[in-house]
Chain A
Amino acid sequence: MEFNIDEMKEQYVDHPFDEVEFVVDAEDMVAFAQACGETAPHFLDPKAPDFRAVPNYASRYHGRRSLPKGFPVNMMASFDAGKSVEITGSIRAGDRLTARSHIHDIFEKTGRSGGMLFIVHRMEFSNQDDIKVSTVDWRMVVRLDMTRDKKAKRGAKTQSGES
């Protein structure tokens, strides 16, 4: 599949496509922190003063959909290349978070292993007081050569009479 990056950007970047709410659970906060090897009481003990979630806690939440309707990429063909979390406020037990999603950027990179399409999915989290607490950028990658190779193979099969 060939992608027209400029067209995709115009159609999808900065257009909100999902909004969902989550209630923050203290037990999950503690288990998340323990599993990551945190040792500070303010991440592990719900009774500790200033008990709060670890900085990347919001990255565990997912919206109802990962890509906008009609987005010309199959999620199953992509892989998770990384996450960036910006922390602008504390996430506390019992908080009601609202997460809004949009595509933040789309770009192509060519490396030694071929071309790759990067899709940056951004989720912005605000709490019940409308304070922005976290922004999570999820970089999804699709190998362009793989999709092109498949297309070429399909074409070759079709030409040789196979289907």
Chain B
Amino acid sequence: MAVDRYEDVEFGEELPEFTPDISMPKVVQFTQAAQMNFGRFTDHDEARKSGLPGAIVPGIMSQGILAALIHRWAPTAQIQKIDTVFRAPLVVDSAPTCRGVVTDMDDESRIVEIDLTLCNEAGETRVLGTALVRL
């Protein structure tokens, strides 16, 4: 069930996880919108030639996916800050899982802190971060 108000949030609550679509067409859509048309994002062969395991998802797309995780959980949430660490590449056409957990709550400001992760199929964390969210 979607969260509307700060009072609906529980410390330690896990956000409903989801598997984002990082298929090649979706990544191409992103790179065109963001004007990041580079082969390492949109061409597996070209990416492999430069030593990558395949075309990789742009870091800021991963960040946007983690922001979407928050909005799917709380559609009216206002993200004040989102900080992400690109620990390792996330390969295009794979099936990662993004997760979030509420790690802090400030009753006065009505801001919650959420730890975020984006893991590959092997369960390895590729992108992690935190967000401050006002409800």
Q: Do A and B bind each other?
A: yes
Interface of A toward B, CB cutoff 8 Å = 27-29, 31-40, 43, 54-56, 59-60, 80-87
| Count of A-B contacts judged by CB separation below 8 Å | 97
Tell me the bound Cα distance from A139 to B30 in angstroms.
Answer: 21
Question: Is the CB of B26 closer than 8 A to any CB of chain A?
Answer: yes
Given A31-B30, A32-B33: A39 touches B71 (CB 8 Å cut-off): yes
Interface of B toward A, CB cutoff 8 Å = 18, 20-21, 26-27, 29-30, 32-36, 59-61, 63-65, 67-69, 71-72, 75, 78-86, 129
Residues in chain B near residue A83, CB distance under 8 A: 59-60, 63, 83-84, 86
Contact (Cβ within 8 A) B81 A54: no
Residues in chain B near residue A82, CB distance under 8 A: 59, 83-86, 129
Residues in chain A near residue B27, CB distance under 8 A: 35
Tell me the bound Cα distance from A38 to B84 in angstroms.
Answer: 18
Tell me the bound Cα distance from A39 to B84 in angstroms.
Answer: 21
Q: Which residue of chain A lies nearest to B68 when distances are taken between CB atoms in the complex?
A: A37
Residues in chain A near residue B86, CB distance under 8 A: 80-83
Tell me the bound Cα distance from A151 to B33 in angstroms.
Answer: 40
Q: Which residue of chain A lies nearest to B19 when distances are taken between CB atoms in the complex?
A: A37
Chain A to chain B contacts (Cβ below 8 Å), 12 pairs: A29-B33, A31-B33, A34-B29, A35-B33, A36-B20, A36-B30, A36-B65, A37-B64, A37-B68, A82-B59, A84-B81, A87-B81
Contact (Cβ within 8 A) B63 A85: yes
Interface SS of chain A: helix, strand, loop or mixed? Answer: mixed
Task: Tell me, rounded to whole Å, the shortest Cβ–Cβ distance linking B93 to chain A.
Answer: 14
Contact (Cβ within 8 A) A56 B81: no
Tell me the bound Cα distance from A27 to B35 in angstroms.
Answer: 13
Task: Tell me, rounded to whole Å, the shortest Cβ–Cβ distance linking A39 to chain B.
Answer: 6
Contact partner of A35 (CB less than 8 A), chosen from B64, B79, B84, is B64
Contact (Cβ within 8 A) B60 A59: yes
Contact (Cβ within 8 A) B71 A56: no
Contact (Cβ within 8 A) B33 A38: no
Contact (Cβ within 8 A) A36 B61: yes
Residues in chain B near residue A28, CB distance under 8 A: 33-34
Contact (Cβ within 8 A) B26 A56: no
Residues in chain A near residue B61, CB distance under 8 A: 35-36
Tell me the bound Cα distance from A27 to B80 in angstroms.
Answer: 24
Task: Tell me, rounded to whole Å, the shortest Cβ–Cβ distance linking A134 to chain B.
Answer: 10
Residues in chain B near residue A31, CB distance under 8 A: 29-30, 32-33
